[in-house]
Amino acid sequence: MILVTGGAGFIGSNFVLDWLAGTDEAVINLDALTYAGNRENLASLENDARHVFVHGSIADGALVASLLKQYQPRAVINFAAESHVDRSIHGPEDFIQTNIVGTFHLLEAVRAYWSGLDEPAKQDFRFLHVSTDEVYGSLSKHAPAFTEEHRYEPNSPYSASKAASDHLVRSYHHTYGLPVLTTNCSNNYGPYHFPEKLIPLMIVNALAGKSLPVYGDGQQIRDWLYVKDHCSAIRRVLQAGRCGEVYNVGGWNEKPNIDIVHTVCQLLDEARPRADGKSYREQIITVTDRPGHDRRYAIDAGKIERELGWKPAETFETGIRKTVNWYLDNQAWVANVQSGSYRDWVEKNYAERAA
Ligand code: NAD
Ligand code: TYD
C-alpha cells in the first residue's frame, strides 16, 4: 500500500480517487483537515476498504511513525501543505509550520522507518514530494520556461516555504540516501478545487452574480495543468522516476489571467446564460494587485516527457470545459464549502482591495 498526505485537499483527493480507480493497491490518507481539506471529496470511497482515512498532521512524528509501522507502505506521497499565496501574505506562520516543520517531521519519521526495512524493501521504497513551479520565482515575458536546473528564487512566503521543504527533501537523499523524488508542477485546475483560487473563484462568483476580481492588469501569466494530468504524472514518476531527481510537470498552457477569466465567462455564457442576456464579463472588475505578485511562470516539461514518456492528455480548451461543467453539476459541493470561515477569508482578502 501507499501513504498519501494531504489527500483530502484538491490535488490529493483527485490523486486518491484516480489511484483507486486504476488499481486495488490500498491508500492510507493522512490529512489534518484544515480549511482546505474536505472529506466530501472522498465521499465515493466511504465504504471502500482500500481507503483508510486518518485525521492527523504530518508534523506529528509519533503518529506518522505508528502509521508507517502498522501499514508498512512501499511509498509516501506528500501533498500536505498550506497552498494559497494570498493566505501566506496575510499569515505566513502556518506555512512555516506545515510546509517546513511538518515536512521535516514527516521526513524524520520516514527515514527511521526506511532505515529499518530489509534490503529489497529499502530499495523499492519511494518518498515523492509534490512541489510547485513557484519556487523558481518570476520570469520576464520572453525568458525560457523553467527547467529543473533553474535556480530557486521564491518570492512569497508560500513559495519560500515550499522551497525550504524541497531543500530538506533533497538533503535527505544526499545525506541519508533516502530514495526521494520531487515534482514541481504548474497551476492545477479541475474538480474539487477550493474556490479561493482563481478559476473556481471566478466560476462560483460569476454564478452567484458577484464581481470577478482581477488583480492588477490581469496580464500575469501562469501555466495551467489539468489536475488529472498532474495525477498521471505523479503515478509515472513514482513508477519510473530516478531517485534524487526532480521532474517539472506542466500543461504547455501559458495564459494571462485575464484570458482565463474571459474563457470562464464565455463557457458560462454558453452553458448557463445570465437571465438578463448579458455576458458574465460584465462582472469583471480590476482590484488592487497582490504584493510581490510574480509576473510569469512557465514550465518546460521536456525532461519528464523525454525520460518517462509523460505528456498531458488535456489541452486547456478541453480541461477548462470539463472543469466548468463539473462546477455546474456539483453545486451542492460548492454550497457546502462556502462555510463561515470561507466567507471570512473572502471578506479579509477582497474588502481591502479597492476596485
Ligand atoms: P490544498 O490546499 O487544496 O490541500 C492541502 C491539503 O493538505 C488539505 O487537505 C489539508 O487539510 C492538508 N494539510 C494541511 N496541513 C496539513 C498537515 N500539517 N498535515 C496533514 N495534512 C495537512 O492544496 P492542493 O492544491 O491540493 O496542493 C497539494 C500540493 O501540491 C501542495 O503541496 C501544493 O504546494 C502543491 N501544488 C499545488 C498547486 C496547485 O495549483 N494547486 C500547484 C503546484 C504545487
Ligand atoms: P491563484 O489561483 O491564487 O494561484 P497562484 O497565485 O498560486 O498562481 O492565482 C492565480 C493567478 O490569478 C495569480 O496571478 C493571481 C490571480 N488572481 C486574481 O487575479 N484574482 C483573484 O481573485 C485570485 C484568487 C487570483
Give mean pLDDT, residues 106-127.
Answer: 98
Q: Minimum mean pLDDT among 100-109, 147-156, 340-349: which range?
A: 340-349
Q: What is the DSSP string of 89-128?
A: HH--HHHIIIIIIIHHHHHHHHHHHHHTS-HHHHHH-EEE
Domains in the chain, number: 1
pLDDT at residue 340, as a whole number: 86
pLDDT at residue 353, as a whole number: 87
**Any domain includes 118:** yes
How far apart CA 222 and CA 311 sit, in angstroms, is 18
pLDDT at residue 78, as a whole number: 99
pLDDT at residue 354, as a whole number: 72
Quickly count helices (H) and strands (E) in the chain: 14, 12
**Any domain includes 241:** yes
Return the best residue to mutate from 4, 10, 77 for the ligand 1 pocket (most ligand atoms within 8 A of CB): 10
Give mean pLDDT, residues 143-147.
Answer: 98
**pLDDT, tens digit (0-9, with 9 covering 90-100), for 282-293:** 999 999 999 999
Residue 136 clears pLDDT 90, i.e. is over it: yes
Q: b or e along 66-105 (b: 16 or more beta carbons within 10 Å of the residue's beta carbon)?
A: ebbeeeebebbbbbbbbbbbbbbbeebebbbebbbbbbbb
Cell digits for 186?
A: 504548474
Told to judge if 307 belongs to the known catalytic residues of this protein, a careful annotator would answer: no
CA dist list (Å): 348 to 148, 206, 215, 292: 36, 20, 15, 18
**Any domain includes 271:** no
pLDDT at residue 273, as a whole number: 98
Give mean pLDDT, residues 166-170.
Answer: 99
pLDDT at residue 203, as a whole number: 98
**pLDDT, tens digit (0-9, with 9 covering 90-100), for 31-76:** 999 999 999 999 999 999 999 999 999 999 999 999 999 999 999 9
Catalytic residue among 31, 134, 223, 294: 134
Catalytic residue among 31, 82, 113, 133: 133
**pLDDT, tens digit (0-9, with 9 covering 90-100), for 269-278:** 999 999 999 9
**pLDDT, tens digit (0-9, with 9 covering 90-100), for 229-245:** 999 999 999 999 999 99
CATH code, 234 = 3.40.50.720
Residue 352 clears pLDDT 90, i.e. is over it: no
Provide the CA 289 distance to its chain's centre, in angstroms. 23
- CA trace torsion 315, 318, 324, 325 (10° rounding): -150
Residue 355 clears pLDDT 80, i.e. is over it: no
Q: Are 87 and 42 in contact (CB under 8 A)?
A: no
Parallel/antiparallel/unpaired status of strands 246-249 and 212-215: unpaired
**Any domain includes 339:** no
Parallel/antiparallel/unpaired status of strands 51-55 and 187-189: unpaired
Direct distance between the N- and C-terminal alpha carbons of the chain, in angstroms, rounded to an integer: 50
How far apart CA 5 and CA 277 sit, in angstroms, is 45
Q: Which atom of ligand 2 is nearest to the CA of 218?
A: 19
**Any domain includes 349:** no
Parallel/antiparallel/unpaired status of strands 2-5 and 75-78: parallel
User: In which order are the strands placed within the sheet that holds 126-132?
Assistant: 51-55, 27-31, 2-5, 75-78, 126-132, 180-185, 246-249
**Any domain includes 238:** yes
Residue 103 clears pLDDT 90, i.e. is over it: yes
Give mean pLDDT, residues 148-171.
Answer: 98
The pTM of this model reads 0.98
Domain that holds residue 54: 2-189+226-250+294-314
**Any domain includes 64:** yes
- Atom 12 of ligand 1, residue of closest alpha carbon: 6
Please tell me the distance between residue 315's alpha carbon and the centre of ligand 1 in angstroms. 24
**Any domain includes 256:** no
Residue 144 clears pLDDT 80, i.e. is over it: yes
- DSSP annotation of 7 reads T
